[in-house]
Every structure is written in C-alpha cells, then in structure tokens.
Amino acid sequence: MSITNTPTTATLDDAPEIGRTLARAFDDDPMMRWFLPGEAAREDRLDRYFTTIFTKQYAHHGVCERTAAAAAFWIPPQAREKAVPDAETLQELQDLLGDRGPLFRELVEAAAAHAPKEPHWYLAVIGTDPAGQGQGHGGALLRSGLAKADAAGLPVHLESSKSSNLPVYEHFGFTVQQEVQLPDGGPTLWAMRREARRPAEA
C-alpha cells in the first residue's frame, strides 16, 4: 500500500522526520557528496544539516510542506531577505561541514548576490525518501508550490545539481537558464526557471 502523498504544512514538530527524509533523499546528490565526502556518517550529517536549515531558517521564513515520504521548502518573494541564513546558522553549518564550511559560506553569499532581482518564488529544497519514490510524493509537492506561485502570477527559480532531475523539472515547465561549474572539482549546477501560468495552463 502506498503511503499518503497529500501535501501538508510542515511544522517544527516534524523536524526529526523531515531531517531523516531529506538525508535519505540527498544521499546520492552530487552537491551533498561534494560537501560531505566519504561514506562515514554521511546520513547522520545530512540529517543534521537539513534539520538545522529547516528549524533555523525555512520553518520561520519559508513555505514548508511535506508528505509521508518527501519535503519541500519554498521561499516567496516577501521572505527572500529573511530566508538567507543568519550568522549563527551559517556558523553551525560550517562546523558541521568541516573543511568545506568556508566554501559553503562563499556559495551562500554568491547565490544571494546572483539571485534574480525580480519578484519570484524560489524552490530551495525538495526531496523524496527513495523508499517512497514513484508514488507521486515529489510531484504532489511541486504542484502544490507551483500553484501558489501561479496564484501570485510569479515565476519560480531553482538550482539542481543532479542531471537526472532536469527532465522532471522540465516536465513541470522549467527550463535551464544557466549552467555553472563549481570550483575545486565541484559539481555542475543548473539554474532553472518556470514562468507563471494561468490556472488552465498549469
């Protein structure tokens, strides 16, 4: 029997489950493997990473939704400035990432500086536990967030570091705007955009 894929609002009480879900979802993500090289304790560190950004950042300033096997963090335009990690959160993440910490801070600052200037919704994080893949969890979360952006008449931006995800996003109307090769042997990032749609087009 499939587990429910109906999106609900994520609360701080959901943090432990969201951390575990996203840790499993991103275990094979090139960006996460670059930031957390080596197999030892990666899932635990990913769990701590996603729990930290959820509880310190997105739960307070974003639109966070979950299903029984997936989670997504969105940033509406009015929360853009507040959703950038504060100094305390950045320091906590740097400590977690070890020698990759300073590079993480640079990437966060660069991403903030190069974010689109126009009002837009930003899909910061979306992931499905591999045990729940193929049951519509990611698609349900995408449709829910995109509907909110469409209702506001605004485009959506995201970055993906996993090439196999590009066709999925393209299916939902995203197109690649820029391809960026991260320094120091880092992975490729694809910046993607989806224009707002009227309800009949969504």
Q: Is a pLDDT exceeding 70 seen at residue 202?
A: no
Q: How many domains does the chain have?
A: 1
Percent of the chain with pLDDT over 70: 92
Residue 199 lies inside a defined structural domain of this protein: no
Q: Which domain holds residue 68?
A: 8-194
Residue 174 lies inside a defined structural domain of this protein: yes
Q: Is a pLDDT exceeding 70 seen at residue 140?
A: yes
Pairing of strands 121-128, 156-160: parallel
- In the prediction, which pLDDT does 106 show? 74
Q: Is a pLDDT exceeding 50 seen at residue 50?
A: yes
- In the prediction, which pLDDT does 1 show? 38
Q: Is 52 exposed, middle or buried (0-12, 13-18, 19+ CB in 10 A)?
A: middle
Residue 202 lies inside a defined structural domain of this protein: no
> Average pLDDT of the chain?
88
Residue 70 phi/psi, 5° resolution? -155, 165
Q: What is the pTM of this model?
A: 0.90
3-state secondary structure of 16: helix
Other beta carbons within 10 Å of 38: 8
Contact 79, 121 (CB under 8 A): no
Q: Is a pLDDT exceeding 70 seen at residue 2?
A: no
DSSP secondary structure code for residue 187 in this structure: P
Question: What does the pLDDT average to over 55-70?
Answer: 94
The rounded distance, in Å, linking the Cα atoms of 127 and 36 is 17
Residue 163 lies inside a defined structural domain of this protein: yes
Question: What does the pLDDT average to over 32-53?
Answer: 87
The rounded distance, in Å, linking the Cα atoms of 79 and 60 is 9
Contact 67, 140 (CB under 8 A): yes
- In the prediction, which pLDDT does 110 show? 67
- In the prediction, which pLDDT does 92 show? 85
Place of tokens 């990032």: 189
Residue (of 151, 158, 142) closest to 196 by Cα position = 151
Contact 65, 18 (CB under 8 A): no
CATH code, domain carrying 160: 3.40.630.30
Helices (H), 54-134: 59-61, 87-97, 101-114
User: If pLDDT is split at 50, 70 and 90, which confidence band does 20 have?
Assistant: very high
Q: Is a pLDDT exceeding 90 seen at residue 52?
A: yes
Residue 173 lies inside a defined structural domain of this protein: yes
